[in-house]
């Protein structure tokens, strides 16, 4: 009976994670598509120089806000999931809001004071100084919003995060952008104003929703010391993660010979960024869940969840990865209305780097949940140095292609090293016989025909959905018939059937019976 209770609890954890992932996937896809739509609109309406200025301003905002968070976007949910007393939980939120708020205001002030120098070095003399100023003003508001979302995450609440961040922040920002761009003709300034207003509104709404989970007014016990000891190493970790996403664009503005290099790079980058979105869908609930299980001394369950979800991420992302690598030029042309071969090469290279990185699973989140932030600090610092060196060496020689290679290599090294550290310190790794089999059979089985097909057909707006559906069906079929499925795979199948109200044909005959003693012999 005890074994049955334990198994039921484990299934509940996995089911909760998948249910959360399905909602986060919808929200994340909306958010990702809104950002992509935003860049599509701006790339088509603005001049190349103006779009280049937007790309640099956006990168500055993302990198600065990540540094200002001081790692609290990870620290707040971790500590909240471990405390029971409302005074402690409230104190975690207060500590994060005050410290991150002060850091954000300080960074924004410094950027505004230095805006003239920033414009000359990175944006060029033809860009108004108001562009970097607007994006700097948005930094404290974005940080405040993300602090509230981190507190919502600590309560393992997915729906409020989706409301405040994915739907409100992203939807309002795009709506404002369109109104200011086409209604008032503000050009690149429209993006800066849209980010300021949307972040400010989302900051207020996120805290109103958080107040439903935890009364924000009341006594509190701050935990500044323990929270800073945990989060401080994550400052560099978060900065590196943001740097790997944004510093290549900034360095292109400073080092590339072509004046429009940052803009050309951003025609391919937003598409490739869709792959990490699929990786992130399990991340919102995964970290506090893993932290709670670790607090209960249940690392075996963390190992199980980590391994199974890594395989699901790989399978779910593979059709998109296949399309981006086999048809990069067609994708850039369809989505961004650009035919520059450099953007297509950027998309293919970054897709390979992002996908290989995703194959390591939620390794950094697991290390963070266990409190091993010092390892994250070392790994991310080394990767930051590697990324800077690669950008300095490759951008002058190869331009946007060099920046893509630098980012792809750095992303893979970052997560592969973190996965090895996790395995060496805890014995947890994302590899079972089913995971390894999926890692091998999908690229071997599907890339050769896709690459041959790319030589004879050109994808269009009409044929792209057809290819996407066929790639998805081929991925599922190949996984099923080659023995990549295990008993835990009933969880996502059950969820899909419940949500759609239909029974998926044939798939269950390929899922083994629920027998963990035999399933988890690695």
Does 190 lie in the same domain as 317? no
Q: Quick one: 292 and 415 in the same domain?
A: yes
Q: Are 398 and 505 found together in one domain?
A: yes
User: Residues 54, 42: contact at Cβ < 8 Å?
Assistant: yes
> Where is 7: in which H helix or E strand?
helix 2-45
Distance CA 311, CA 320 (A): 15
Whether residue 227 lies inside any domain: the answer is: no
114 and 145 part of one domain: yes
Nearest Cα neighbor of 445 from 475, 414, 413 is 475
As given in the structure block, the two tokens for residue 233 are: 């190493």
Q: Are 303 and 286 in contact (CB under 8 A)?
A: no
User: Model confidence over 67-116: pLDDT tens digits?
Assistant: 888 778 777 887 777 777 888 889 889 988 999 999 999 999 999 999 98
Same domain flag for 206 and 269: no
pLDDT band of 323, cuts 50, 70, 90: very high
* CA 135/CA 124 separation, integer angstroms: 16
Helix (H, G, I), strand (E, B) or coil at 77: helix
Q: Are residues 216 and 272 in the same domain?
A: no
Are residues 270 and 173 located together in one domain of the fold?
A: no
Q: Please state, in angstroms and rounded to a whole number, the distance separating the CA atoms of residues 286 and 281.
A: 9
Nearest to 231 by CA among 71, 68, 82, 64: 71
Domain termination site, one of 170, 189, 222: 222
Which residue stretches of 427-462 are H helix?
433-454
Q: What is the pTM of this model?
A: 0.66
Q: 69 in helix, strand or coil? A: coil
Q: What secondary structure, in 3-state letters, does 243-269 show?
A: HHHHHHHHHHHHHCCCCCHHHHHHHHH
DSSP label at residue 162: I
Q: Where are the alpha helices (DSSP H) in 187-340?
A: 189-213, 224-255, 261-272, 274-280, 283-295, 299-326, 328-336
Angle separating helix axes 2-45 and 170-178, nearest 10 degrees: 10
pLDDT of residue 495 exceeding 60, the answer is no
Asked if 316 and 345 sit in the same domain, the reply is yes
Asked if pLDDT for residue 185 goes beyond 80, the answer is: yes
Mark which of 194, 222, 250 sits at the end of a domain: 222
- Torsions phi, psi for 278 (to 5 deg): -65, -35
Residue whose C-alpha is closest to residue 278's, from 19, 29, 9, 3: 29
Distances from the Cα of 306 to the Cα of 166, 312, 350, 361, angstroms: 25, 10, 24, 7
> Is 40 within a domain?
no
> How sure is the predictor about 521, in pLDDT bands with cuts at 50, 70 and 90?
very low
Query: 501 Cβ partners below 8 Å, 6+ apart?
Result: none
Max intra-chain CA distance, the chain:
73
Q: Tokens for 293?
A: 């299980």
- Separation CA 77–CA 289 (nearest Å): 10
User: For residue 198, what are the domain limits?
Assistant: 46-222
In a domain, residue 357? The reply is yes
Tens digits of residue pLDDT in 25-81: 566 667 667 777 887 788 778 887 888 888 888 888 988 898 888 778 777 887 777
230 domain-assigned? no
| 264: its two tokens | 């050309």
- Verify that 215 and 244 share a domain, yes or no: no
Same domain, 271 and 147: no
Do the Cβ atoms of 265 and 401 come closer than 8 Å? no
Backbone angles phi, psi at 511, to 5 degrees: -95, 120
Q: Is residue 235 part of a domain?
A: no
**What's the chain's average pLDDT?**
80
Closest to 417 (Cα-Cα) out of 451, 448, 447, 375: 375
Q: Which of 267-271, 340-344, 406-410 has the lowest mean pLDDT?
A: 267-271
User: 386 with 297, same domain?
Assistant: yes
Between 387 and 518, residue with greater pLDDT: 387
Last residue of a domain, one of 195, 222, 249: 222
How far is 33 from 308, CA to CA, in rounded Å? 27
Q: Say yes or no: 383 and 307 in one domain.
A: yes
pLDDT for res 257: 62
Q: Which residues does 231 contact at the CB level (< 8 Å), separation at least 6?
A: 70, 71, 72, 74, 75, 373
Evaluate the CA torsion angle 303, 304, 310, 313 in order and state its sign: negative
Three-state secondary structure call for residue 455: coil
Range of weakest confidence among 133-137, 259-263, 385-389, 447-451: 259-263
Is pLDDT at 239 greater than 70 in this prediction? no
Give a yes or no: residue 32 inside a domain: no
Give the Cα separation of 319 and 300 in Å (integer).
31
Answer whether 429's CB lies under 8 Å from 422's CB. yes
Mind listing the pLDDT tens digit for each residue in 335-344?
877 788 888 9
User: Which residue in 326, 324, 319 sits closest to 471, CA to CA?
Assistant: 319
Count structural domains, the chain: 2
**Residue 79 falls inside a structural domain:** yes
CB atoms within 10 A of CB 274: 20
**Confidence (pLDDT) at 297:** 59
The average pLDDT across 358-371 equals 78
Does 359 or 263 have the greater pLDDT score?
A: 359
Task: Please report whether residue 256 resides in a domain.
Answer: yes
């Amino acid at each position: 009976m005890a074994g049955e209770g334990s198994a039921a609890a484990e299934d509940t954890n996995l089911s909760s994670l998948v249910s959360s992932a399905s909602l986060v996937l919808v929200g994340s896809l909306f958010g990702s598509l809104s950002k992509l739509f935003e860049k599509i609109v701006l790339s088509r309406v603005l001049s190349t120089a103006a779009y280049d200025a937007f790309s640099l301003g956006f990168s500055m905002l993302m990198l600065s806000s990540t540094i200002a968070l001081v790692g609290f976007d990870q620290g707040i949910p971790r500590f909240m999931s471990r405390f029971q007393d409302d005074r402690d939980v409230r104190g975690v939120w207060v500590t994060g809001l005050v410290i991150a708020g002060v850091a954000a205001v300080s960074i924004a002030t410094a950027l505004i004071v230095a805006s003239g120098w920033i414009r000359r070095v990175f944006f060029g003399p033809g860009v108004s100084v108001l562009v970097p100023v607007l994006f700097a003003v948005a930094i404290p508001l974005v940080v405040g919003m993300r602090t509230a979302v981190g507190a919502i995450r600590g309560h393992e609440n997915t729906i409020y995060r989706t409301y405040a961040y994915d739907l409100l922040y992203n939807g309002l920002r795009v709506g404002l952008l369109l109104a200011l761009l086409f209604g008032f003709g503000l050009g690149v300034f429209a993006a800066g104003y849209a980010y300021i207003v949307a972040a400010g509104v989302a900051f207020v709404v996120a805290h109103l929703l958080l107040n439903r989970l935890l009364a924000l007014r009341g006594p509190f016990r701050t935990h500044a010391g323990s929270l800073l000891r945990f989060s401080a190493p994550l400052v560099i970790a978060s900065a590196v993660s943001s740097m790997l996403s944004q510093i290549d664009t900034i360095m292109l503005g400073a080092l590339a010979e072509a004046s429009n290099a940052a803009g050309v790079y951003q025609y391919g980058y937003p598409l490739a960024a869709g792959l990490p979105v699929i990786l992130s869908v399990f991340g919102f609930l995964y970290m506090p869940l893993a932290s709670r299980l670790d607090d209960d001394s249940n690392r075996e369950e963390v190992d199980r969840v980590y391994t199974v979800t890594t395989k699901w991420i790989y399978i779910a992302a593979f059709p998109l990865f296949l399309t981006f690598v086999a048809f990069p030029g067609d994708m850039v042309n369809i989505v961004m209305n650009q035919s520059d071969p450099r953007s297509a090469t950027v998309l293919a290279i970054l897709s390979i780097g992002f996908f290989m990185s995703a194959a390591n699973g939620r390794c950094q989140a697991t290390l963070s949940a266990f409190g091993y932030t010092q390892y994250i600090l070392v790994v991310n610092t080394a990767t930051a140095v590697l990324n800077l060196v690669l950008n300095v060496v490759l951008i002058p020689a190869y331009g946007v292609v060099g920046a893509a290679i630098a980012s792809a290599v750095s992303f893979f090294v970052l997560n592969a090293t973190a996965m090895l550290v996790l395995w060496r310190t805890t014995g947890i790794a994302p590899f079972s016989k089913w995971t390894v089999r999926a890692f091998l059979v999908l690229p071997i089985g599907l890339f050769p025909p896709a690459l041959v097909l790319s030589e004879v057909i050109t994808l269009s707006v009409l044929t792209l959905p057809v290819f996407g559906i066929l790639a998805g069906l081929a991925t599922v079929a190949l996984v099923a018939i080659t023995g990549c499925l295990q008993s835990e795979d009933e969880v996502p199948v059950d969820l899909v059937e419940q949500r759609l109200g239909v029974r998926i044909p044939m798939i269950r005959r390929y899922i083994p019976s629920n027998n963990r003693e035999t399933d988890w012999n690695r």
